[in-house]
Amino acid sequence: MENIVHFDVAAVIMLLIMFVVSLTRKSYKGTTNRMFQLLIVTTLFSALFNAVTAGLENYGCQNDLLLYFTRTMYLILHNFTTPVYVMYIVSLTRTWHKFKKHLCASVLASIPYVAILVAIVLTPLTGLLYTYENGIFTRGKAAIALYINAAFYLALGVGYIIKYGRLLKKRNIVILLSSVPLMILAIVIKCFFPNSLVEIFANAVSLMIISMTIQNPDKNIDGITGLKKYIAYGEEIKMDYENKKHQKIILINLVDFESLQRLLGFEGINLFLRQVAEYLIAHDRKFKAYSDIYYLDRGRFRVVVNSFNLKKAEALAKSISDSSKLPVRVKHIDITAEAVVCLADCPGDIKDFKSLMAFGNDFHERVVRTGELLYASELFKQRDFQIVNAMEDILKRGLENRSFQVYYQPIYSIEKKRFVSAEALIRLIDPEYGFIPPNLFIPFSEKNGAINKIGDIVLDNVCRFISSDRFKELGLDYIEINLSVVQCMQRGLADNVLATINKYGVSPDKINLEITETAANYNQAMLVENMTKLIDAGISFSLDDFGTGYSNMERVASLPLKIVKLDKTFVDNSNKPRLHVFLKGTIKMLKDMDMEIVVEGIETQQMVETFSNLNCDYIQGYFYSKPIPENDFVDFIKQSLISA
Ligand code: C2E
Ligand code: MG
Ligand code: MG
């Protein structure tokens, strides 16, 4: 009876299509993809050799040597598909590191395949599995071993899915397990119709289902770079943390990505990101690290070097870092983009996924850029990093234990020769980390929303202080309160502020709110609405940190501001002749617009004189006093009144 080869031919066609599709997909091949490709290739060639063998038998080929050769090849490959299937499952669960740990188990798991391999290769001599005599095929005594081998790896695969099922999505478990009844069905069919070659066809159908579902990359692949994207990083690395998998992550953040994006435009930036992705892939290949490469968003790339290649991670990271100044040639633009590269040993350096994300988000903004490779372990020894890492808890503790305090820094009027106001500055002392600088916790609290509560604490404290009798003795005109950008954009800001000052019966002219240039550059409509409402009620506004942001003169000029605060950078650079000229012009311009000028960060008598001569109105800085607690501040002002 002739073999029915149609099934094999159909399988070959299906597998070829899948192979071509997997090759031409514009996505980067991570470990799982590579494993899946191996599965397709193994099945494809086993189908080919099976079809050739069956074809030769059908045509009555009597060349035993040729038949032995094609059947041997078929059996080697076909029996390899089940172990590869297990390897694919291991890849999906990202648990390769377990095999490295339990070497003994890995050796045990490979024994059946090695044994069957030996049996297959020796069969032409021993006739154990089958024999050919003048082209006539006869099953050998040990032919059942082939089925036992397949059953062993199938059982191993199913066992693995059961043991590590929690690491897989439910849908994926169903898809993976669905291939088992399909295989069993194929074997049953083969028992009844021994000449129908349905086994490989069943394999091909399973692979087709997997390729259309689990391996379907649309959701996980970034369309621009072809790398795995944010969602995949989130799912996979979180899983690795749960699994206590040891791996090294190379974090690559492009510096000032937003500006680069503006400069290059939509098409330009996409082209550039693609170039970076190709560059990283090429580098990874050069080092044979077989990493998983991701593009998260906003210029953040991640190269995850898996457990087997950890030794290569540092050299790879160094090499990426050495070329971290990238020439960008997009259309007519020819510039240099810079990246900051950091190597993190996980979970050693960064203990959980949330911390990894928080750290990765902006480490490049918090380091001195030397162009050298950074090590997360070194950065984490720095106190600032430890604080930022624990910021969520620190803020929570601070709010729960009410450990926020408001300090005051006096502001001196050059004309009146006395202190006329003060800036309220928030302080947080944490029981574990001590003093937490506002420059660290304010930006964090803006992101997690705690800033609104912090803003309320400051406003409440200041209003309570102003309404107290002892404040009245100090003869101060007003207190300046910092508003964060997030607060400025809040719809209810004006009502909230007015409610608090009413609660304490504070006169609105005793409050001055500081906004920054960054706030002025955001949604101006909301800001102006808030400002107008508050100004109508009698509250005045200052522009803080003038000269540090992206000044947009037109916007700044159009805002109803009473005071402009020159940033400390002006003070630090005022001895540079050209800046002095610039400063002189700026001050004159602000004065012509009827604005009052405060200089921040004055530390010496000489600086007081310089800025008095430049016609500034108020001086604030360590020269007079650092920010101090309310009681000390009251004493300080009283003392200054006595000595005047
Ligand atoms: P800022 O509003 O520009 O405050 C001035 C900063 O300069 C304060 O730092 C102050 O301590 C510091 N400073 C004052 N005089 C000198 C000096 O002579 N030399 C030096 N080296 N520094 C001086 P601080 O208190 O660490 O606050 C940093 C920033 O955090 C503030 O900058 C402000 O943007 C923000 N911030 C502080 N308190 C609050 C708050 O209650 N709410 C909001 N939204 N932001 C706040
Ligand atoms: Mg301020
Ligand atoms: Mg300032």
Which tops the pLDDT comparison, 382 or 313? 313
Q: Which ligand is nearest to the CA of 601?
A: 1
Does residue 219 have a pLDDT over 80? no
Residue-wise pLDDT for 333-354, tens only, equals 777 788 999 999 999 988 889 8
Question: CA 294, CA 48: separation in Å to the nearest integer?
Answer: 36
Q: What are the helix (H) ranges across 247-352?
A: 257-286, 310-322
Residue-wise pLDDT for 385-429, tens only, equals 788 878 989 999 999 999 999 999 999 999 999 999 999 999 999
Atom 26 of ligand 1, residue of closest alpha carbon: 438
The predicted pLDDT at position 554 comes to 73
Does residue 218 have a pLDDT over 80? no
Contacts of 255 (CB under 8 A, 6+ apart): 337, 338, 339, 340, 364, 369
CATH topology for 222-389 is Alpha-Beta Plaits (3.30.70)
The predicted pLDDT at position 520 comes to 66
Q: Is the CB of 55 under 6 A from ligand 1?
A: no
The predicted pLDDT at position 521 comes to 67
Which tops the pLDDT comparison, 638 or 379? 638
The predicted pLDDT at position 265 comes to 87
Give the end-to-end CA distance of the chain in Å, rounded to a whole number.
118
Q: Tell me if 394 sits within 8 A of 428, measured CB to CB.
A: yes
Q: Tell me if 397 sits within 8 A of 431, measured CB to CB.
A: yes
Q: Which ligand is nearest to the CA of 426?
A: 1
- Mean pLDDT value of segment 192-199: 77
Contacts of 350 (CB under 8 A, 6+ apart): 344, 356, 359, 376, 380
- Mean pLDDT value of segment 201-208: 88
| Mean of all residue pLDDT scores within the chain | 89
CA 358 from centre of chain: 8
The helix/strand/coil state of 128 is coil
The predicted pLDDT at position 176 comes to 86
To test ligand 1's pocket by mutation, which of 428, 482, 563 has the most ligand atoms within 8 angstroms of CB?
482
Nearest by Cα to 25 from 220, 304, 163, 189: 220
Nearest by Cα to 342 from 323, 314, 308: 314
Q: Is the CB of 425 under 6 A from ligand 1?
A: yes
The predicted pLDDT at position 27 comes to 61
The predicted pLDDT at position 2 comes to 65
Does residue 513 have a pLDDT over 70? yes
Query: What atom of ligand 1 comes closest to residue 484's alpha carbon?
Result: 44
Question: CA 522, CA 1: separation in Å to the nearest integer?
Answer: 80
Q: Pairing relation of β-strands 333-346 and 325-330?
A: antiparallel
Q: Tell me if 252 sits within 8 A of 339, measured CB to CB.
A: yes
To 10 degrees, what angle do helices 391-400 and 438-448 make?
A: 90
Beta strands in 508-616 (DSSP E): 511-516, 540-546, 563-566, 596-599
Residue-wise pLDDT for 570-622, tens only, equals 888 888 888 889 889 999 999 999 999 999 999 999 999 999 999 999 999 99
Q: What are the helix (H) ranges across 94-143?
A: 96-101, 103-126
Does residue 217 have a pLDDT over 70? no
Which tokens in the block code for residue 600? 């921040």
- Mean pLDDT value of segment 486-500: 93
Confidence of residue 111 (pLDDT cuts 50, 70, 90): very high
Does residue 6 have a pLDDT over 90? no
**Model-wide pTM > 0.75:** no
Question: CA 39, CA 85: separation in Å to the nearest integer?
Answer: 7
Q: Among the listed ranges 375-389, 435-449, 512-526, which one has the minimum average pLDDT value?
A: 512-526
Does residue 175 have a pLDDT over 60? yes
Q: Tell me if 359 sits within 8 A of 376, measured CB to CB.
A: yes
The predicted pLDDT at position 587 comes to 93
Where are the chain's structural domains?
A: 6-217, 222-389, 409-425+451-643
- Mean pLDDT value of segment 3-30: 81
* Cα 544 to ligand 2 centroid, rounded to whole Å: 5
Q: Which residues pair with 425 in a beta bridge?
A: 407
Give the Cβ contact number of residue 512 at 10 Å: 22
The predicted pLDDT at position 68 comes to 96
Return the CATH class of domain 6-217: mainly alpha
- Mean pLDDT value of segment 210-233: 82
In terms of Cβ atoms closer than 10 Å to its own Cβ (0-12, 13-18, 19+), residue 542 is buried
Residue-wise pLDDT for 27-78, tens only, equals 666 778 888 899 999 999 999 999 999 999 989 899 999 999 999 999 999 9
To test ligand 1's pocket by mutation, which of 407, 428, 442 has the most ligand atoms within 8 angstroms of CB?
442
- Mean pLDDT value of segment 508-512: 98
Does residue 482 have a pLDDT over 90? yes
Residue with the two structure tokens 């937003």? 258
Phi, psi of 109 (to 5 degrees): -65, -25
The predicted pLDDT at position 105 comes to 84
Which tokens in the block code for residue 550? 């992206």
- Burial code (b: 16+ CB inside 10 Å, e: under 16) for 56-79 equals bbeeebeebeebbebbbbbbbbbb
- Mean pLDDT value of segment 479-496: 93
Task: Report the percent of the chain where pLDDT is more than 90.
Answer: 51
* Cα 440 to ligand 3 centroid, rounded to whole Å: 15
Atom 12 of ligand 1, residue of closest alpha carbon: 601
CA 343 from centre of chain: 14
CATH topology for 409-425+451-643 is TIM Barrel (3.20.20)
